[in-house]
Structure 1
Amino acid sequence: MAGNRFSVGIIIVVIGVILLLGKLGVFGFVWELFWPALILAVGLLLHALYFNKTLPSGVLIPGGILVTISVLFFLCTFFGWGLMAYIWPGFIFAVAVGLYEFHMFDKYSPRGTLMAAVALAVIAGVLFGMTILFTVGIYFIAIVLIGLGVYMIVNKRRSW
């Protein structure tokens, strides 16, 4: 009977601590930072189910997409959602990752799967490059112009 009271006492204390931490906002803070882990877990679960030969290779497409998107969400959660203005082509790249995994692990995948994956990866890369160029490219151009001007000023040859 005494052991039973001890177990019930521990359970009551644990419930009290959980309620107190919840009221202090600890769980809300943890949830705000680590909710992309749920998306990552689903993506990894799909991969595990394929590699355990429970599900067909088609689950690699959404699995790859979910894992890649969870990485994007983790980046935005830790560094701020303003980062999404720069990494949004990652969503297109996520589809390319899923298609590429499907192509790699299914020897009977359609021929166009690899071409679609490469095309989407190239499109994502071009869009990412354009995003970077339009947002921070002006700084690069300014630095090049300043360097060119300094070179022209310092250079002893007067060829212009």
Structure 2
Amino acid sequence: MKNGKAGYGIFLIAIGLLFSLQTVGIIDEFWSFSWPLILLFVSIGFHVGFFLSGANKQKAGLLVPGGILFVLSLLFTFEEMTGWNYSGYTWPIYLVAVAVGLFELWLFGGREFGLLIPIFILSGLAFVFMIQNMFSFNILSFWPLLLIIVGLFLVFGRGSNSAKDV
């Protein structure tokens, strides 16, 4: 336990020094590009914690924030490098981050089928919004057409049990 306290103490000292140097203005430019690394290190900490526990399924919940923070650290690094010029286009990555965290939970936590539902919903929404952002038209304006296609499939599609329903 004493080594754990020392580790936390060193971590807090390092963070305090970084913030102090940033307040004084010594690492102002460095800090603007390196702060996403803190998210990356925390993400790695969650992953290491899970795998050091023997990849125990009961500890798989550690992977959800680990996966989310990993994706967000990559996104924020990109945004900092580009001056946040593309943030209007990359915002669906926030949905992907949650989907990645949940996917890691599904992958290492027992592969429960019900967990795939929010993963696919978040991934699908992110995909639709990314496509919408790439092109100038509003893809969501075609949702009535999607309803018509699904309705036609239900009425005339294969496996129709209309004779058995009567």
Into which bin does the TM-score normalised by the smaller protein fall?
Answer: 0.5 to 0.7
Alignment equivalent of 1:102, drawn from 105, 118, 126: 105
Give % identity: 32
Residue 121 (structure 2) aligns with: 119
Computed over aligned residues only, the root mean square deviation of the Cα atoms, in angstroms, reads: 2.2
Residue 46 (structure 1) aligns with: 46
For 1:125-140, what aligned pairs fall within 5 Å after superposition?
A: 125-134=127-136
Distance in 2 (CA, whole Å) between partners of 1:73 and 1:42 is 14
Structure 1 segments, 4+ long, off by >4 Å, are 21-26
Distance in 2 (CA, whole Å) between partners of 1:106 and 1:23 is 42
TM-score normalised to structure 2 length: 0.63
Q: Secondary structure at the match of 2:87?
A: helix
For 1:74-89, what aligned pairs fall within 5 Å after superposition?
A: 74-89=77-92
* Bigger radius of gyration: 1
Q: Secondary structure at the match of 2:53?
A: coil
Judged with a 3 Å threshold, the aligned counterparts in structure 2 of structure 1 residues 66 and 22 are, in CA distance, closer, same or farther, namely closer
Residue 35 (structure 1) aligns with: 35
For 1:45, the aligned partner's letter is G
Post-superposition shift, 1:47?
0.5
Q: Secondary structure at the match of 2:101?
A: helix
Judged with a 3 Å threshold, the aligned counterparts in structure 2 of structure 1 residues 57 and 23 are, in CA distance, closer, same or farther, namely closer
Distance in 2 (CA, whole Å) between partners of 1:23 and 1:91 is 29
Structure 2 unpaired stretches of 5+? 1-20, 138-166
Q: Secondary structure at the match of 2:112?
A: coil
Post-superposition shift, 1:111?
2.1
For 2:109, the aligned partner's letter is D
For 1:101, the aligned partner's letter is E
Judged with a 3 Å threshold, the aligned counterparts in structure 2 of structure 1 residues 61 and 22 are, in CA distance, closer, same or farther, namely closer
Residue 140 (structure 1) aligns with: none
For 1:42, the aligned partner's letter is V
Count of matched residue pairs: 114
Judged with a 3 Å threshold, the aligned counterparts in structure 2 of structure 1 residues 105 and 23 are, in CA distance, closer, same or farther, namely closer
Q: Secondary structure at the match of 2:27?
A: helix
Distance in 2 (CA, whole Å) between partners of 1:96 and 1:47 is 16
